[in-house]
């Protein structure tokens, strides 16, 4: 069974206003909680016995099996003896690395259909080669916990299907289907953060319905802003984002702007659904911190803030390429921590359980004051929360004092597989049981195509972790 984060700073009790907000949201949308009703043998939480870990990212808007690549292997870093890990394409060399270097042993690996666009949880129901071993493990243990990168109705239906055979109880370590969908929707989260933290806690944003409305709103914002951003609300991170220089829009006819928006959205894989989000791209940005949390059941206590991390982003869309522990002014740290916990407490009352991270930006306003603006919620595991949980397990539950996540930098052609990557890293590799610092490989390179360096550096202090990662990059030429 996978361990869950158990520590975090002391926090203030939930406010009456936040509790009333949660109650009102449930009254307006009862399915937030009623969506948990999948039968008497299906429960939310972490149960006894083994886990079924699914790292699939198909189910996130705009994500295809090709885009997922080998990223679904990251969840294997959390596997415990007796667990089952399902990936779209097995990599025996990576499984060997997990066993011999990281000590992740006695784990069963199953391969789903690589090309099938059906989410892996759905394949686990329909494919006997997947369903058979999972059912057998449930029957033997009497209990099974499904740990998914993204928890959706597919995982809950899989749990219901498995439990319906009467061979045991199935637990879901994740949010209800409805709150999962809402939390990962940028527009819904924008409205929630605004209600919890105030109007000034979010950037100017508006939802629009239809091409003409989108063009009109973009043209209006371009009159006063330097850049305008358009986002697909339920996409992850930068996948559905693009920004446009206002200068190129001024003086253009609305029909031209409409055509430009439709072309850019189509190129991103947008399915043509509304609303979409239109807003001002923040100027004066000096940081992109995120709050990493674990949200237990309300009865088990308040949200646990596991740390604030500075995200490293690049390109016009703001693509995630890594993260490190944030070094913020005390006032910003206190403000961000307090507001994150308040937002998390509302999510708890709406049926949320499990890992959750909130992304923000810090900007310097015209007055010279630093402002915190909440951007989106990652209602799932993430490129930071998985490494954070993995490093904690290797340090017997203690969070590393220094940690850097790398998810960028092209690996050279000579480093095309796990074995060559391990040889290049050599003594820099973290080895479970023999060291407290080093480099962890988060997912394997993809043979036959250009791969990025997906790894974690951990050490007894932040400067040392940064040094180890830089040394690894130089050694790899990444």
What pLDDT sits at residue 60?
66
Give the residue-averaged pLDDT of 445-474.
90
Strands 276-280 and 42-44: unpaired
- Res 237: pLDDT: 57
Share of the chain above pLDDT 90, in %: 61
Element (H, E) at 31: helix 31-34
DSSP per position, 441-469: E-S---TTS--EEEEEEEESSHHHHHHHH
Which of these ranges, 30-39, 139-148, 182-191, 389-398, has the smallest mean pLDDT?
30-39
Residue 435 has pLDDT above 80, yes or no: yes
* Residues 6 or more apart whose Cβ sits within 8 Å of residue 29: 178, 182
Residue-level pLDDT at 137: 96
CB 218 within 8 A of CB 257: yes
Question: How many angstroms separate the CA atoms of 307 and 9, rounded?
Answer: 9
Residue 63 has pLDDT above 80, yes or no: no
Q: Enumerate domains of the chain plus CATH numbers.
A: 37-175 (3.40.50), 204-280 (3.30.1490), 286-476 (3.30.470.20)
Tokens of 37: 């009703």
Q: Which has more pLDDT, 182 or 446?
A: 182
Give 422 or 286, the one with higher predicted confidence: 422
- 3-class DSSP state of 174: coil
Q: Look at residue 49 in the predicted model and tell me its pLDDT.
A: 95
Which of 138, 153, 155 is closest to 49 using CA atoms? Answer: 138
Give the integer Cα–Cα distance in Å for 265 and 276: 10
Question: How far apart are alpha carbons 132 and 124 in whole angstroms?
Answer: 9
- In this prediction, residues 366-382 reach a mean pLDDT of 92
How high is the mean pLDDT of the chain?
88
CB 80, CB 3: distance < 8 Å: yes
């Amino acid at each position: 069974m996978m361990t869950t984060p158990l520590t975090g700073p002391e926090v203030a009790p939930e406010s009456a206003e936040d509790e009333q907000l949660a109650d009102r949201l449930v009254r307006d949308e009862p399915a937030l909680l009623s969506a948990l009703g999948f039968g008497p043998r299906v429960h939310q939480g972490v149960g006894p016995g083994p886990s079924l870990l699914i790292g699939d990212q198909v189910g996130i808007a705009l994500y295809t099996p090709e885009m997922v690549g080998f990223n679904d292997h990251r969840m294997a870093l959390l596997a415990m003896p007796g667990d089952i890990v399902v990936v779209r394409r097995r990599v025996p060399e990576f499984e060997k690395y997990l066993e011999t270097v990281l000590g992740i042993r006695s784990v069963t690996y199953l391969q789903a259909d690589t090309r099938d666009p059906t989410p892996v949880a759905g394949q686990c129901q329909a494919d006997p080669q997947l369903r058979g071993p999972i059912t057998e493990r449930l029957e033997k243990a009497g209990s099974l916990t499904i740990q998914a990168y993204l928890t959706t109705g597919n995982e809950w239906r899989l749990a219901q299907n498995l439990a319906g055979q009467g061979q045991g109880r199935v637990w879901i370590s994740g949010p209800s289907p409805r709150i999962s969908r809402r939390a990962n929707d940028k527009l819904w989260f924008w409205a929630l953060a605004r209600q919890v933290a105030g109007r000034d806690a979010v950037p100017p944003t508006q939802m629009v319905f239809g091409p003409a409305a989108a063009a009109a709103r973009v043209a209006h914002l371009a009159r006063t802003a330097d850049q305008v951003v358009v986002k697909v609300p339920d996409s992850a991170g930068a996948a559905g984002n693009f920004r446009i220089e206002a200068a190129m829009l001024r003086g253009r006819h609305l029909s031209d702007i409409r055509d430009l928006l439709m072309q850019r959205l189509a190129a991103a894989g947008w399915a043509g659904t509304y609303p979409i989000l239109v807003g001002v791209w923040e100027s004066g940005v000096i940081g992109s911190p995120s709050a990493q949390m674990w949200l237990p059941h309300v009865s088990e206590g308040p949200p646990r803030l596991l740390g604030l991390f500075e995200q490293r982003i690049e390109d016009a869309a703001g693509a995630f390429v890594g993260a490190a522990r944030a070094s913020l002014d005390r006032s910003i740290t206190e403000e961000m921590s307090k507001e994150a916990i308040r937002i998390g407490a509302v999510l708890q009352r709406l049926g949320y359980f499990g890992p959750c991270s909130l992304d923000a930006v810090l900007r310097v306003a015209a007055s010279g004051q630093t402002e915190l603006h909440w951007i989106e919620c990652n209602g799932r595991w993430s490129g930071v929360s998985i490494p954070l949980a993995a490093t904690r397990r290797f340090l017997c539950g203690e969070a590393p004092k220094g940690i850097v996540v790398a998810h960028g930098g092209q690996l050279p052609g000579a480093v095309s597989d796990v074995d060559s990557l391990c040889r290049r890293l050599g003594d820099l590799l973290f080895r479970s049981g023999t060291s407290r610092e080093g480099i962890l490989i988060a997912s394997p390179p993809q043979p036959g195509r250009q791969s990025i360096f997906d790894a974690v550096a951990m050490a007894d202090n932040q400067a040392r972790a940064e040094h180890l990662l830089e040394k690894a990059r130089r050694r790899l030429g990444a």
